Chains A and B, each alone.
Chain A
Amino acid sequence: MPLLGSNEKHSDSNVITIDVGGQNFQTTKQTLSLAGPKSVLSNLSVSQFGGGVPFIDRDPELFSILLSLLRTGNLPSKAKAFDVQDLIFEAQFYGIESLLVDSISNPSQFDAFNLEKSLFLPLNGRDSPSTITTTPYGSVHVAHGSKITSFDWSLRRKSTILTQFTAIDSLLALSPSLAAAGATDFSGLQILDLEKGFVRETLNWENITKSSSTVQAIGSSPEYLFTSFESGRRNSNSIMVYDLQGSFRPVLEIDHNEIYGAELDTAIPATKLKWVSSFNFLMASGSHGGPSGVVGSIKFWDVRSGNAVCELKEKTDCFSDVTVSDNLSAIFKVGVNSGEVFYADLRKLGGVNQWACLGDERKVGIAKKEGAGCKIESHGNQVFCSKKGDLELWSEVLMGSKSSEDGFEERIFRKNLMGRAKDAGGCKITDLSFGGNKMFVTRKDQQFVEVWQSSTRGF
């Protein structure tokens, strides 16, 4: 509670003196107004204190750090002497937590080439993480067994809730305190309030026989929540589009398949849903292991019309995982047989053989299942691909203009193996996620989350 006093007067009305816990600080109105209209600090600058020095009954040392943050937008190096948790509480008091988030966990600070394995987030109990999800500023939610443990953006505080699921297979963070969760053995999609541990909403899809349906994948765009449902008897599936801004009202149903007889390959449920914002498409991919090997399909949907824009049928060397990169305008897959990474340019989809192999093309025909269990995800300008315990980082090398005959140059991608030599190997990677300036990795049989971080100022 700021209290007013009066010791001295200032002729220069632009300079403001504040007494915090017995120490005087001088700054300008402009600096304090950076704290935002709701902050205690900007209110100080607005009101004229009758010549008095406003007094704030808080710790002066922490305030000096936060004042530096206000002045420069960065934490001073002396902030290292403080625990980030103290700074967060203090910043919350002054109403400038968002500035602190920006300086410590800003997504723009993400530097793929500079990521180092720096932290472990331990999970209590014996369940290994089944899936993780992150918010843009680096809060992370980890599903392990029937529980979800949420870490805040600073990764210093956690909370755990119990869900009705036995195990959670799909989890998507909608906000730092809200997530959508589903499982392949549990009926319905649940919107969970992670602070209170309540189910906010249960979303169900029913086919003609009104049987219950399980969740295969969850995705989102700024406006919509997408959920891939499969009926309990596994004879029909569909992707539901819910309004994310409203109260999760169903908007549209796309890709509804009913399976009659043996036409399994035409109706594979989507197991990954990715929004491609620059094209306004939803990418839905699913694969199915049959007697003739793994077959799959990647479909692009126009959510407004509900029509498929394009479909890639995967017959030879189907993907074991596939992702789409907005920045690179390309889709990337790991071949289940070859274990090699392929890319296809989004701007020239629909051709005969879209995929360009970024590795040894001779391995495509050999059914060695080298790519089984590999994960591929894109973030920023890079693509991350896990192969067993290792992580590959793929990035595009931009060359001077050198057009080929079809108007599109052959693009060049190069890979790096991430981490130090001592980080190589390790248990198989089960999930990858990105938030803030960090990458989160979970591995089989490990009851913690690995955090890969690029070094930041201050911390």
Chain B
Amino acid sequence: MENRIDNSTPSFDRIKLNVGGKLFETTLSTVQSSGPDSLLSALSTRSTHSSDPIFIDRDPDIFSVLLSLLRTNRLPSSSLKFSKQELLDEAAYYGVESNLKSALLPPSLNGLDASLVSTLHPSVEGFPTDFTAETDDGSVLIAHGGQISCYDSNLIHVGSVRTHLENVTSVRRVWSNIATVGSNSSAGVHFYDLGSGRNVGSVHWTDPSDPRIYRARVHAIAHEPSSVFASCECQHRENCILHIDKSTLQISSEIGRQSGNSAKTVVIGKLTYLSEMHMLIGSSTSAGAFGYSGYMRIWDPRSRNVVWETSEPGSGRSSRFGDSFADADVDTDQCALLKVCSKSGDVAMADLRNLGDDPWVYYQDNNLGQRNPGGSKVIHCYKKQVFVGKEGGLEVWSRVEERENGGGCDGLVYRRNFVDKAENTEKGIIRKMEGGGNRLFVSREDVEGLEVWESSYSSNVVHVL
């Protein structure tokens, strides 16, 4: 019981707060975990010789939630009493927004264990025509009719922009506040400032030597840090990919101009830029009376040369003649190309670093209990998982973890599982899927709203008593 402790140390280590009449006591390290710029850190560094608590004229109940968050890095269940917006506003006041945002984000998306958590409903013309979540912070841009609605990483509606287009069918966020939009029914590639809602520029495909090239419409958009690529088609079906310089908003080159008069020259409908390999990857499919046909093509945008291409049916030594792909996607994490076959529904992967005549490796499916319905199919890769939409059903291919020390990648095993429940299928045909911020966004044909699928550690028990 000897006096070892200097009586003045506690006032340096500890901080007393009186928030709205309720006393809180915590340590400086807890308060400072919100970063040096926060109100709390600022208060704590104030030299207070008095032991009087610092008075803050705010609600004490919300503060206790935020203080728990700072102490434990998780939100206590009492946070459920408050709306997300309320918490975010209060967190912004104290300057602990980043702590709150990271606590609100969903855990890593596991397609095996994901459920539909919410649906984003833009209030006017709520049928999403396109959307993008590619920034991967969880924010999403939804094009619906002529509007673009912007949702932040907590899926809170930030704002909507009305464009001059009647029907936006392609949208990409090319800068943090600039969206590139296009429509397959009206001409031009347009740039909109999401903050002010102003059109900051438009690009049209023209060719002085060819009078047919005018009023080109946009079918797909991709971008990289310095440029935007837009797949355009004129009314005479002449099409190409415009390479637009981001800083000047001028066309710097045309890539892969073609006449569009056969299945192999139809406009590119899906475009991806793979920055790791400087590749521009485009695919196009058309469904006719005799089934699907399509092609995939890879360009080097610097030289504008075709690096590799395949067309189905017909190209290569594919043993799957007649089972051409219905949709393709690029796995940017693993530099692979994936396709889903139109008839069998099988999924195949091609390594982009080792493309050849027939690079496809088909995923083996041992689960015979799962049928393959015909009809439309879409494919999307996210977090090393392959999501496949077949009509209204949502499946995921995931890799089975091997032994602890990763022993040998010769026997890569992939398994197919349903993500959804049978009743989800009834909602409508899946039109587009995209992952971002550990969420999977799904839009369906003629269905209002954008579905949000997340994984959760919570068991979501249902009480029946």
| A residues whose Cβ falls under 8 Å from a Cβ of B | 1, 3-6, 9, 19, 21-22, 48-52, 55, 57-59, 82-83, 85-86, 89, 93, 116-122, 124-127, 145-147, 149, 151, 155-164, 166, 193, 196-200, 447-448, 451
Contact = CB atoms under 8 A, between A and B. Distances in A.
Given A22-B16, A118-B463, A1 B76 contact: no
B1 A48 contact: yes
Interface residues of B, number: 59
A147 B417 contact: yes
11 contacts: A3-B14, A55-B27, A117-B464, A118-B463, A122-B460, A125-B112, A125-B421, A126-B418, A162-B112, A162-B417, A196-B404
B10 A3 contact: yes
A50 B2 contact: yes
B72 A93 contact: yes
Contacts of A199: 401-404
B10 A50 contact: no
A193 B404 contact: yes
Contact of A156 (B26, B419, B461, B464): B461
B398 A85 contact: no
Contact of B27 (A57, A117, A164): A57
A49 B1 CA distance: 7
Contacts of B114: 124
Contact of B25 (A21, A93, A117): A21
Contacts of A126: 417-418, 420-422
A116 B25 CA distance: 43
A432 to B, nearest CB: 18
A161 B458 contact: no
B250 interface: no
A122 B402 CA distance: 27
- The interface centre, meaning the residue of B16, B25, B112, B115 with most chain A CB atoms within 10 A of its CB, is B112
Nearest to B7: A6
A424 B64 CA distance: 46
A82 B77 contact: yes
B30 A55 contact: no
A145 B29 contact: no
B40 to A, nearest CB: 14
Interface in B446-465: 456-465
Contact of B77 (A5, A85, A122): A85
A126 B369 CA distance: 11
B74 interface: yes
B246 interface: no
A121 B459 contact: yes
Contacts of B413: 164
A57 B31 CA distance: 11
Interface in B1-47: 1-5, 7, 9-10, 13-14, 16, 23-27, 29-30
A145 B457 CA distance: 20
Contacts of A55: 10, 14, 25, 27
Contacts of A200: 404
A197 B401 contact: yes
Contacts of A162: 112, 398-401, 415, 417
Contact of B26 (A21, A48, A116, A124): A21
Contact of A159 (B16, B25, B68, B113): B113
A285 B464 CA distance: 36
A157 B458 contact: yes
B71 interface: yes
B110 interface: yes
B366 interface: yes
- The interface centre, meaning the residue of A89, A93, A158, A451 with most chain B CB atoms within 10 A of its CB, is A158
Contacts of B25: 19, 21-22, 55, 57
Nearest to A453: B465
Contact of A86 (B3, B77, B402, B462): B77
A60 to B, nearest CB: 9
B289 to A, nearest CB: 33
A157 B64 CA distance: 24
Contacts of B456: 158
Contacts of A5: 5, 9-10, 13-14
Given A166-B366, A199-B402, 17 more contacts: A19-B25, A58-B71, A59-B64, A89-B74, A116-B465, A122-B459, A125-B421, A126-B422, A147-B417, A149-B113, A155-B461, A160-B110, A161-B112, A162-B400, A198-B401, A198-B402, A199-B403
Contacts of A146: 367, 400, 415, 417
A291 to B, nearest CB: 29
A85 B458 CA distance: 9
A127 B420 CA distance: 10
Given A4-B5, A5-B5, A22-B16, A118 B464 contact: yes
Given A22-B16, A125-B418, A156 B459 contact: yes
A158 B463 contact: no
B461 A121 contact: yes
B461 to A, nearest CB: 5
Nearest to B22: A22
A151 B367 CA distance: 25
Interface string B61-102: 000100110011010111000000000000000000000000
A198 B77 contact: no
Contacts of B112: 124-125, 147, 160-162
A6 B7 CA distance: 6
Contacts of A82: 77
Given A161-B401, A162-B401, A1 B418 contact: no
* Pairs A-B, 6 closest by C-beta atoms: A22-B25, A83-B77, A160-B113, A5-B10, A126-B418, A120-B462
Contacts of A117: 464-465
Contacts of B14: 3, 5, 55
B401 A59 contact: no
A127 B418 CA distance: 8
A156 B457 CA distance: 8
Nearest to B31: A57
Contact of A125 (B1, B77, B419): B419
A120 B1 contact: no
A117 B464 CA distance: 7
Contacts of A193: 404
Interface in B96-132: 110, 112-115
A145 B365 CA distance: 13
A147 B25 CA distance: 46
A125 B367 CA distance: 14
